[in-house]
Amino acid sequence: MTGTPAFWARLHGLRTTGAQTTGETEAQGSTRQRYEVLQNAIRIIRDHPVVGVGLGAYGLANFRYNPALGTLDTHNTYLHILAETGVLGLVLYLAIVASVIRSARDARRRAAQVFPAHAETLRWLQYAFVGHLIAGLFGSFSTFILPWIFMALLWSASQTVRALCPPAATAPSPIRPVSSAANLDASRRWGI
């Protein structure tokens, strides 16, 4: 294994579990700063839960809540969206994400038998998107345009593959038409 001594010292510093002990093992203080930024984000969210501080205003709010942190972002996409747009914005964002993932999964399943190569392409695009969503726990990507373009690409690919597939089999109607003889029999029983 190769690496500079500074690299290995940094890696060792990341093994600590509490913000109080990071200063002893990590010279840069990055972990402590991240912890403080996340705590600050939670305070901002508590003070502005419904509609947040406004799009693009997190840096200023972060500075106002803790000037020592400056205009750093949250290092968490979901907290960033929640702080800027409130619960309403986060719910809308998650609904869009869920809709795109559901669309891709549905198209992939429909294409599995007819167009296996297309289904496999959708699978890997979907995996890449889920990977991005997981990475969002450790970085603020909500202001980047690329994830939105990727979401649009995944949705468009899903719709294209779905259009190529034959229509889904329709389920039989749960109500069977009743013949006129059966209607006559019922009317005699009930005296109608």
The pLDDT of residue 167: 82
The pLDDT of residue 84: 93
Select from 91, 80, 75 the least CA-distant residue to 54. 80
- In whole angstroms, give the CA distance from residue 190 to residue 99: 50
The full set of domain ranges for the chain reads 31-164
Cut 0.75: pTM above it: no
Beta-carbon-side half-sphere exposure of residue 147 (alpha carbons within 13 Å): 18
The pLDDT of residue 66: 87
Q: Cβ of 184: how many Cβ atoms within 10 Å? A: 10
- Asked if residue 61 lies in contact with residue 52, where contact means CB atoms within 8 angstroms, the answer is no
The pLDDT of residue 74: 85
The burial class, CB within 10 Å (0-12 / 13-18 / 19+), for 4 is: exposed
Select from 139, 141, 131, 137 the least CA-distant residue to 101. 131
Contact residues for 188 (Cβ-Cβ < 8 A; gap 6+): none
**pLDDT tens digits for range 68-108:** 888 888 889 999 999 999 999 999 999 999 999 999 999 99
Which pLDDT band holds residue 171 (cuts at 50, 70, 90)?
very low
How is residue 118 written in tokens? 């297309």
**pLDDT tens digits for range 142-156:** 778 888 999 999 999
Q: Which residues of 51-74 are buried (b: 16+ CB within 10 A; e: fewer)?
A: ebbeeeebbebbeeebeeeeebbb
Select from 93, 14, 90, 78 the least CA-distant residue to 41. 78
Reduced to 3 states (helix: H, G, I; strand: E, B; else coil), residue 139 is coil
